[in-house]
A and B are shown apart, each in its own frame.
Chain A
Amino acid sequence: DAGITQSPRHKVTETGTPVTLRCHQTENHRYMYWYRQDPGHGLRLIHYSYGVKDTDKGEVSDGYSVSRSKTEDFLLTLESATSSQTSVYFCAISGGFGNQPQHFGDGTRLSIL
Chain B
Amino acid sequence: DQQVKQNSPSLSVQEGRISILNCDYTNSMFDYFLWYKKYPAEGPTFLISISSIKDKNEDGRFTVFLNKSAKHLSLHIVPSQPGDSAVYFCAASTDNTDKLIFGTGTRLQVFP
Interface size on A, residues (CB 8 A): 27
Chain B residues whose C-beta falls within 8 Å of the C-beta of A97 in the assembled complex: 98
Given known A-B contacts A48-B99, A106-B42, A106-B43, A42 and B49 have beta carbons under 8 A apart: no
Q: What's the least CB distance linking A43 to chain B, in Å?
A: 4
Q: How far is the CA of A48 from the CA of B99 in the complex (A)?
A: 8
Total of A-B residue pairs, C-beta within 8 Å? 54
Task: Convert A29-57 into 0s and 1s, putting 1 for each residue whose CB lies closer than 8 angstroms to a CB of B.
Answer: 00101010000111111001010000000
Q: Which of B6, B42, B98 contacts A94 (CB 8 A)?
A: B98
Per the CB 8 Å criterion, the residue count for chain B at the interface is: 23
- Minimum distance in angstroms from B106 CB to a CB of chain A: 10
Hey, which bits of chain B sit against chain A, CB under 8 A?
4, 6, 32, 34, 36, 41-46, 49, 51, 89, 91, 98-105
A64 to B30, CA, bound (A): 27
Provided the pairs A42-B103, A42-B105, A99-B51 are in contact, do residues A104 and B98 lie with their beta carbons within 8 angstroms?
no
A58–B101 alpha-carbon span in the complex (Å) = 10
CB nearest neighbor in B for A104: B43
Find out whether the CB atom of B46 lies under 8 angstroms from the CB atom of A31: no
User: In the complex, which residues of chain B have a beta carbon less than 8 angstroms from the beta carbon of A59?
Assistant: 99, 101
A96–B98 CB distance below 8 A:
yes
A22 close to chain B: CB less than 8 A: no
Residues of B within 8 A of A58 (CB): 99
Interface status of A3 (Cβ within 8 A of chain B): no
State A86–B62 Cα separation when bound (angstroms): 34
Closest residue to A58 on the B side, CB-wise? B99
Q: Which chain A residues border B101 with CB–CB below 8 Å?
A: 59
Alpha-carbon gap, A94 to B98, bound state (A): 9
